[in-house]
Structure 1
Amino acid sequence: MNKLNAWAGLLARYLRYYFRAGTKYGVHSPFVADWVANVLEDTRDYYAFFSIEGLRQTLSRSGRRLAGNPGGAGYFSAPAGGPSLSYLANRVAVPPYVGQWLFKTALWAKPKSMLELGSSLGISTLYLGAAAPRAQFLSVEGWREAAELAAAHCHEAGLANIRIVHGNFGEALPQLLPHLAPLDLIYIDGDHNGFRTLEYVEQCLPHLAPDGVIVLGDIYWSADMAEAWKTLRQHPAFRVSIDVFHLGLLFPRAEQKEKEHFTLIRARRKFWRVGIWG
């Protein structure tokens, strides 16, 4: 029953998002329109997509189960006996289109320094790292077994700029952040707990570059994650926020006087909304 209630709640949150979402035709901010054109509406494929999805397919065929405690709040439907690599690749790792949004956001932002909270098996890590192979990139994973696999996958992909660290986010961040360059892109997707997500953002905020972006995964995973997202988009440190349901993006944009929030969906999913009705 709890699992059914969780999925029913997620569906209700998606429907609310869908009915209020606008399309590219209603975006009048040049900054946001540029992101929409280069990320949300961009349909180009890159070689990295095929290699990363090839890894996912390999993992999807594996029945190997990982020991240890995954932690976080994102494994509520994991099978008994510990999640298999197949389960993690198909149900926990970012789906292909979200991975592509991450890749294209990093390609668009051109980060020199990135931080990820939640490596899992390294699928999202590879999407981000492939888009910015020269960036200093630190990824933190709370599950030791997953961290070891993610590190191996990054090594096999030849992305030497990625460093995977095992540790509890709340404990690791105070030790790691002072040694990092100002962060141009921060991706948080390893602990679907609203209260802790707020804490992670506050910890990272002093280390975010003025032109940086914080990307949050699964902002509607649960009611408390949705509430955390609402709180963050109202945060005075962020002048621009973008909601695409699976991801939430927060930009400081200190030079911008007015706060702006955009709830967006791909135009093809609301094909009847064009021009001033977008």
Structure 2
Amino acid sequence: MASFTFVQDYLRHRLTANNRHGIHSPFVYQLIDTVIYNYHNQKAYHEIAIELSGQNIATERKLPVKVLKLIYRLTKHFNPSSIVEVGEGGRTSHYLQKAVPLAKIDNVNDAELKGGLTTCADMVIFNNDVLNLQVFETLLTAVYPDTIMIFTGVHNNTDAKRVWDQVKAHPRVTLTIDLFWIGLVFFKLGRAEKEHFKIKY
């Protein structure tokens, strides 16, 4: 059962976040309009539900299905050829594989991250059990301007919220989108100043 504080945070987010209206960034507006708020049913959702039925993924802190579908859409939209997934993904891993079946997906843990990564990644996804600043800074070795990072569980607890604020403030981060359930991080060059958006989802 969700904690009282978590519910409060969710309601506060709903009250203070925007939808597509009032967003002046063309990139963010288009992403909201065509991907985040694309609630149309997709054949892949049904296929994934069948493939996962009966599976017991005990290590996973479950994300709502609507969030897993959003991760699927984001992954399909950005079409990464290389993904680094940090921590135990469970169902999240399945949605990633379904979205980009030809992509190279590496699942890594803290021990494997020591010293950083030697290759670049188009997408990095942090599962909520490994959300800490040290892991984020280590993964920056794999980041280039077009990399997208997805953080799950950014509002799960006080520590997660603190790390999310530190990630947003990092000098290499140029744009973030807080969807409460997940946070999106971009590193695109050429932006005059940082932009942070809170979007209802």
Q: Flag whether TM exceeds 0.5 (same fold).
A: yes
Matched, 1:217 2:152: yes
Alpha carbons of 1:113 and 1:34: their partners in 2 closer, same or farther (altered >3 Å)? same
Once the two structures are superposed, residues 236-271 of structure 1 have per-residue CA deviations (whole angstroms, 9 ceiling, x without a partner) of 1111100000000110111212211100014xxxxx
- The equivalent residue for 1:130 is 98
Maintained 8 Å contact 2:128/2:151: no
Alpha carbons of 1:176 and 1:202: their partners in 2 closer, same or farther (altered >3 Å)? closer
* Secondary structure in 2 matching 1:25: coil
Once the two structures are superposed, residues 89-140 of structure 1 have per-residue CA deviations (whole angstroms, 9 ceiling, x without a partner) of 9x7233211111111111111211101113343x111111211122111123
Matched, 1:41 2:10: no
Select the residue among 97, 113, 137 that pairs with 2:82: 113
What pairs up with 1:257-276 in 2 under 5 angstroms?
257-266=192-201
Matched, 1:97 2:66: yes
What TM-score comes out, normalization by structure 2 length? Answer: 0.91
- The equivalent residue for 1:7 is 3
Unmatched 5+ stretches in structure 2? none
Offset, 1:192? 5.3
Letter in 2 for 1:184: D
Offset, 1:175? 6.6
Letter in 1 for 2:196: H
Offset, 1:37? 1.7
Letter in 1 for 2:26: P
Matched, 1:243 2:181: no
Letter in 1 for 2:111: E
Q: Distance in 2 between matches of 1:232 and 1:174?
A: 19
- The equivalent residue for 1:203 is 138
Aligned structure 1 segments of 4 or more residues deviating by more than 4 angstroms: none
Q: Distance in 1 between matches of 2:134 and 2:115?
A: 15
Q: Distance in 1 between matches of 2:144 and 2:174?
A: 14
Alpha carbons of 1:25 and 1:92: their partners in 2 closer, same or farther (altered >3 Å)? same
Q: Distance in 1 between matches of 2:162 and 2:104?
A: 32
Unmatched 5+ stretches in structure 1? 60-84, 141-168, 267-278
Q: Distance in 2 between matches of 1:176 and 1:229?
A: 20
Maintained 8 Å contact 2:86/2:126: yes
Letter in 2 for 1:259: K
* Secondary structure in 2 matching 1:24: coil
What pairs up with 1:153-192 in 2 under 5 angstroms?
169-174=109-114, 177-178=117-118, 180=119, 182-191=120-129
What pairs up with 1:226-237 in 2 under 5 angstroms?
226-237=161-172
* Secondary structure in 1 matching 2:176: strand
- The equivalent residue for 1:154 is none
* Secondary structure in 2 matching 1:101: helix
Alpha carbons of 1:20 and 1:132: their partners in 2 closer, same or farther (altered >3 Å)? same
What TM-score comes out, normalization by structure 1 length? Answer: 0.67
Larger Rg belongs to: 1
Alpha carbons of 1:258 and 1:188: their partners in 2 closer, same or farther (altered >3 Å)? same
